[in-house]
Amino acid sequence: MDSSRITVDLRARTFEIEVPHDKVDAVLDRLEDFFSMALPEEPEAVEAVESSGAAAPSPVPEEEGAPKSPEVRKRSKGPSKIKAYDLVDLGLSTDQRNSFRDRYTEKNPAQQSDMVAVVGYLLKEFMNKNSFSQNEIHSAIKIVNKPTPKNLLAVFGNMKRDGIADYADSKVVINSLTEDYVNHHMASKVKKTAK
């Protein structure tokens, strides 16, 4: 059976497909569709090689006035934009902010979802409400002088997935599961001094 070999080089990985000669065009069309959806950095990353080893002919440059192929968006090579959260007034007195810091330090959460669970739990106690926006969580994290996670919505989603809190309307919802988690499942990290 006569077959052709198609080699696809994706910089980090290379794979080859062997197909009958009459199916080469269909496979190349499918690969082209795939790479236009996958947003490659360089469209030249796909190379077709026939069984004879000769490279497929390079595409003919587009003529002026000819219909253009759809543009492919390229991924940016730099870091993604960092969300700039706003500081909001949480309405906490100086004594409440000091108590907030002390109780946060007592739990000393290491993971982002734990940090948000603790500050959300404390905000629920001090503010007497149960859902908090990204800006409110950011402002509470600044009270304890910790860095805010880059994507709080993702942290909220992770907390919902892990059953620590709920997530609705771009807000984290502190519920009884959060309270149980903070009070009973997070070990207090501050060592108690011997009496």
Domain ranges of the chain: 3-48, 94-185
- DSSP 3-state percent helix, strand, coil across the chain (nearest 5): 40, 15, 45
* Kind and range of the H or E run holding 175: none
Rounded distance between C-alpha atoms, residue 78 and residue 15, angstroms: 27
> What would be the CATH architecture of the domain defined by 94-185?
Orthogonal Bundle (1.10)
Specify the pTM.
0.56
73 CB neighbour count, 10 Å cutoff: 8
Low-confidence stretches of the chain (pLDDT < 70) are: 1, 12, 15, 33-82, 187-195
pLDDT tens digits, one per residue of 96-153:
999 999 999 999 898 999 999 999 999 999 999 999 999 999 999 999 999 999 999 9
* CB-based contact 83:152 (threshold 8 Å): yes
What's the pLDDT score for residue 75? 59
